[in-house]
Structure 1
Amino acid sequence: MMDIHEILKQLPHRYPILLVDRVLSVEKGKTIRTIKNVSINEPFFMGHFPKRPVMPGVLMLEAMAQSAALLSFASLGIQLDDNTVYYFAGIDNARFKRPVEPGDQLVMDVSIERHKAGIFKFHGEARVDGELACEADLMCTMRKVA
């Protein structure tokens, strides 16, 4: 289990793009369960949409990717340094099944499908009250930057 203070040590993301509030469980090399508490105070709700606020699907994917990064770091036993970035390498089979609205708690389950040659492939599912909101296959990699 990780609280927000530990997440901030692991991920370089900060407001307004940090989209993981807590790690509920992690099984190194296998799976992670995280949560994102969705508040009306999120900056994207001002424009998406003013009369019917809905969390953008791309941000649900980003939240799952941040969860995947935390799983990768835990599995490899590493912490990123300032010269390393964790990138999205691909998204396949993304499906959005229900809107996510203010007051919802997004529970994300991300599992490693494979890890080869520095590329991780994951399957992620995000649920609200047990109901599938979003799912996708994600590919991520780490790269050194100058």
Structure 2
Amino acid sequence: MKDIRSILPHRFPFLLIDEIVEVEEGRRAVGVKLVSQHDCEGSPDGAFPRGFILEAMAQMSGAALHSESRSNGLGMLAGIDNGRFYQDVFAGDRLTLTIDITRNKGRIVKGRGTAAIDSRIVCEADLLFAFQSMT
């Protein structure tokens, strides 16, 4: 599997994906985030910040949408709908991030993301992306 750094422009400390497990180009991606104590620093309750979970799902969407032939520009997170958090995530947890692309029409892409610990879903959301030309 390709290294996530060859797909996304993010780097430490903003890269929130540790491993890509599966990619069906343009359709689906599964990855892993190993939550460390460093990831939870500064959080009042010691939990991994919920916004970071959403960002990790957005980054996994980048892996699903990555293509050597895709020429419609840089993808940016444009919206989050139906976001739900069911439990907190703490240092030592292995977060499995799954993205299923539900609509891929030109410059607008929608996907359904889930984050789970073992098989327990801790977060789910619908993500909207817009692609901007790089000219």
The TM-score normalised by the length of structure 1 is 0.84
- 1:131 is matched by which residue type in structure 2? R
Unaligned runs of 5+ in 1: none
Tell me what 2:61 maps to: 68
> In 2, are the aligned partners of 1:21 and 1:34 still within 8 Å (CA)?
yes
Structure 2: how far apart are the matches of 1:79 and 1:100?
A: 34
Structure 2: how far apart are the matches of 1:8 and 1:135?
A: 24
> In 1, are the aligned partners of 2:26 and 2:66 still within 8 Å (CA)?
no
Residue correspondences, number? 134
3-state SS in 1 of match to 2:38 = coil
Match 1:125 to one of 97, 114, 135: 114
Question: Are positions 1:106 and 2:99 aligned together?
Answer: no
> In 2, are the aligned partners of 1:10 and 1:79 still within 8 Å (CA)?
no
Tell me what 1:46 maps to: 41
- Which stretches of structure 1, 4 residues or more, deviate above 4 A after TM superposition? none
Tell me what 2:31 maps to: 34
Deviation at 1:141, TM superposition (A): 2.1
User: In 2 relative to 1, CA 78–58 (structure 1 residues): closer, same or farther, beyond 3 Å?
Assistant: farther
Tell me what 1:58 maps to: 51
Unaligned runs of 5+ in 2: none
> In 2, are the aligned partners of 1:23 and 1:34 still within 8 Å (CA)?
yes
Structure 2: how far apart are the matches of 1:11 and 1:117?
A: 20
Tell me what 1:23 maps to: 20
Q: Report the RMSD for the aligned CA atoms in angstroms.
A: 1.7
Deviation at 1:59, TM superposition (A): 0.6
The TM-score normalised by the length of structure 2 is 0.91
Question: Are positions 1:134 and 2:123 aligned together?
Answer: yes
Match 1:92 to one of 54, 70, 81: 81
